Structure 1
Amino acid sequence: MKLRLFYALWPRPEVRDALAAAARPLLDACRGRRVPKRNYHLTLAFLGSVAEDRLPELHAAAARVTFEPCTLRIDRHGYFKGARAAWLGCRQPSPAAAALAENLRAVLAPLGFQPDPRPFRPHLTVLRKCPGCDWEGEIQPVAWPIDGFVLARSETLPTGPVYHVVHRHP
């Protein structure tokens, strides 16, 4: 069986609630399909369709990733025109979070995975199929403590995608 997988930073419930509150003015100002707060995450590496029997290999590789706990400050918003998505992100991304993304990519490459080679720019998608978003207000900053990451599975349903945590690291 194939699973659609990605590694991500996964917010704790209280952070998820704070992110939803911070996103509210942006969501109210712009049109599109809202991402349910249960799906909030920051992608570190998208793997795509992966055979389920490769899970032990992925867990072993991710266990070799070293990183320093840090805090992301989610304090800005933006819009990806091509993807038609509104997002929340960081004015000053944490060097420790960027190093985590790079270290993860480095252990995945020998396994044949080629995650996006662009530098890690943390963004949390809050609105999809958005025809445009020119809201210029400020969001309430959110402190997001990072002490681990997850391997997650994406399940596509008629109502939209649902994400499930497959494994937590460490």
Structure 2
Amino acid sequence: MPKVFFGVEIAPDIKQRLLNVQAPIQCAGWQSSEQLHLTLVFLGNVPEGTVPGLFDSAGSVSAEPFELAVRGLGCFGSPERPSILWAGVCPETPVVSLHRQLLETLVAAGVRVDHHNFKPHITLSRFGRGAGSVQRLMEEKSEESFGTMAVNAFVLYESTQGPNGSVYTVLKRFPLN
């Protein structure tokens, strides 16, 4: 069963600036350049024959291209005991709108989706037990701009486990129009 999710690819220049944030923090599992993305809808493991139907559903989404600025850092969990360190995006409105439209399209097609509260972000690091504090790093980078990019498409990724963590492969791109 493939593990899949819809997301937005991050521009190479922004990826490089985000990689420069990496700091020696205890129990931090920093994401590689290839792993940086913005998740729109996580589906998890889906039956083999489901992927073509996902292509059809996602292909019916109609949204305008938009500009997205990547700015500041935040975390899930407390800054003293984080689970995830992330970079923020703004404006959030077009990302949330794309997320909702994609979610509604998938649900209408009978696809089971994760209905958690959606917070648009780019995961920079995942933390294990005993994680060090990210408070200082977040304060230092709270207003830092990592760049602006045009979002002209979203993608369906497949996630597989490799020797160095998750490997994300683009299965299909869906242009915004």
TM-score of the aligned structures, taking structure 1 as reference length? 0.86
Q: Deviations over 1:37-66 (max 9, x none)?
A: 110001000001012211111000001101
Structure-2 residue corresponding to 1:39: 35
Contact 1:71 1:94 in 2 (8 A): no
Structure-2 residue corresponding to 1:109: 107
Q: Deviations over 1:74-101 (max 9, x none)?
A: 11101212861111013x4332221111
1:1-170 to structure 2, matched below 5 A, reads: 2-21=1-20, 24=21, 27-28=22-23, 30-31=25-26, 32-81=28-77, 84-90=83-89, 92-110=90-108, 111-118=110-117, 120-129=118-127, 131=131, 132-135=133-136, 136-138=139-141, 139-170=144-175
Q: Which segments of structure 1 move beyond 4 Å, counting only runs of 4 or more?
A: none
Q: Which amino acid aligns with 1:133?
A: V
Higher strand share: 2
Q: How many residues align?
A: 163
2-side partners of 1:100 and 1:43: how far apart?
11
2-side partners of 1:149 and 1:73: how far apart?
16
Q: Which amino acid aligns with 1:58?
A: L
Structure 2: gaps (5+ residues): none
Contact 1:86 1:128 in 2 (8 A): yes
Aligned residues: CA RMSD = 1.9
SS of 2:63's partner is coil
